[in-house]
Structures are given as structure tokens and as C-alpha cells.
């Protein structure tokens, strides 16, 4: 049944969004194409009119999920002043841990290493964007630690903290919460002192 161009685009969007949600929830191997297509309101055969394979859909879903998550992050952080604390409030929280359609970085970190290079590239790009965003709100000095090193560590640590918190949520919920609050507090301490801004310097002289 041929459909309008509009419908084609809508169907593709539904497909990608359904894939993003289900893959985040169950993993790439944990969800079938039939289930994804059904969630998108289509039959499983329809997928192959839009994508050459399940893996290609997964890559598109990953990009989509990252875009969505990143825009929510920056919106939330900027509303609250774009400080390191505002980012951490969003990223390291029970809400993020329990969120079905949360950040794809945290959902599939250890999965990615075993998949196509396309997914590795997607992941790396998303990771770098996140690191850039964090670095932008860090002070320049923190002992001998540069802002880039701290930003890289904060993002990697956030990913680890959420992954751990999710992994142990079933068996040790209290410890899971503790990991989140500890990581939030400790990573927050890496903000560093802001080097005097140019306007502040000018005021002094």
C-alpha cells in the first residue's frame, strides 16, 4: 500500500523513536525488529523499505536518542544557570537512572564495544559533545588538573555511576542511591576555581 510522502516520513520517525526507546530499555539484542515495528504501528517487513538492516536502524536510533537527550540536558542546565551543579543535577539522579529513554551513553556503554564501528563513532561523537558542554562550565584551575581532564573524567564517571546504579538497583537499592549521591558530590568538587574573568581583571586595574 503506497502512502503519502508525509506518512513515509512520519513512519520513519515513529520507527526510529520506537527503536530508540526499546533499545535503550532492552539492548540491541534484547529487542526484535517485529517488536520495534509493532511499537511504531507497522509490520516487520516495512522496516526494510527504510533501512537496509536492523543494525542501521539501531545506529539511527542511537543518534536520535542522543540528540533528544542532549537537547533536554542543555535546556535543563541553562534554565538553572548552566553550572556544573545544574548538569550533575540532571545527569546523576534517580530520575536519570530509572528513565526509560535516558541518555544513550549510559544505556549502552559496554554494549557498544562489541558492535559495529558506526555505533562506536556515534558514541564517540556524543561523548565528546558532552565533554565539551561540561568543560565549558568548569573553572580553569583545580590544583594541577586541567579543565579538559576534569571534563573527560566527569562524563566517564557519570556514565559509570549511572551504569552501576542501574546494575545494583534490583539487589541493593540503598547502595544504588548512595552511589548517585556520592558521585554527584565528589564530581561537583571538581568544578575548580574560575580564573578571574577579563571584566573582573579590568575592574582591578
Closer of 2 and 203 to DNA (Cβ): 2
Among 13, 27, 132, 195, binds a copy of itself (CB under 8 A): 27
Enter the C-alpha cell of residue 164: 552501576
Placement of cell 534490583 in the chain = 170
- In the complex, the smallest distance separating the C-beta of residue 175 from a copy of itself, rounded to whole angstroms, is 6
Closer of 45 and 173 to DNA (Cβ): 45
In angstroms, what CA-CA distances link 158 with 24, 38, 79, 111?
17, 33, 21, 17
- In the complex, the smallest distance separating the C-beta of residue 67 from a copy of itself, rounded to whole angstroms, is 18
150 binds a copy of itself (CB under 8 A): yes
Instruction: Reduce the DSSP state of residue 29 to 3 states and report it.
Output: coil
Among 13, 25, 27, 43, binds DNA (CB under 7 A): 43
Contact 91, 144 (CB under 8 A): no
Helical segments of 27-103, H only: 33-39, 47-50, 54-79, 84-91, 94-98
Residue 71, Cβ neighbours under 10 Å: how many?
10
What is the contact surface with a copy of itself in residues (CB under 8 A)?
Answer: 26-27, 29-30, 106-114, 117, 120-121, 123-124, 127-128, 143-145, 148-150, 152-153, 155-161, 163-164, 166-172, 175, 178-179, 181-183, 185-187, 189-190
Q: Which residues bind DNA (CB under 7 A)?
A: 1-8, 11-12, 31-35, 37, 42-50, 53-55
Amino acid at each position: 500500500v503506497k502512502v503519502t510522502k508525509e506518512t513515509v516520513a512520519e513512519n520513519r520517525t515513529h520507527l526510529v523513536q520506537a527503536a530508540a526507546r526499546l533499545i535503550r530499555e532492552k539492548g540491541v539484542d534484547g529487542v526484535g525488529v517485529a517488536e520495534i515495528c509493532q511499537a511504531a504501528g507497522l509490520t516487520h517487513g516495512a522496516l526494510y523499505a527504510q533501512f537496509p538492516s536492523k543494525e542501521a536502524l539501531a545506529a539511527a536510533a542511537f543518534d536520535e536518542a542522543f540528540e533528544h537527550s542532549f537537547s533536554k540536558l542543555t535546556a535543563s542546565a541553562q534554565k538553572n544557570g548552566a553550572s556544573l551543579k545544574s548538569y550533575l543535577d540532571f545527569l546523576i539522579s534517580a530520575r536519570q537512572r530509572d528513565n526509560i529513554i535516558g541518555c544513550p551513553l549510559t544505556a549502552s556503554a559496554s554494549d557498544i564495544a562489541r558492535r559495529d564501528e558506526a555505533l562506536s563513532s556515534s558514541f564517540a561523537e556524543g561523548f565528546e559533545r558532552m565533554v565539551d558542554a561540561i568543560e565549558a562550565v568548569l573553572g580553569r584551575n583545580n590544583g594541577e588538573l586541567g579543565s579538559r581532564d576534569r571534563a573527560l573524567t566527569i562524563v566517564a564517571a557519570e556514565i559509570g555511576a549511572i551504569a552501576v546504579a542501574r546494575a545494583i538497583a534490583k539487589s541493593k537499592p540503598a547502595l544504588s542511591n548512595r552511589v548517585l549521591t556520592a558521585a554527584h558530590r565528589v564530581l561537583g568538587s571538581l568544578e575548580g576555581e574560575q580564573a578571574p574573568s577579563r571584566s573582573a581583571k579590568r575592574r582591578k586595574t
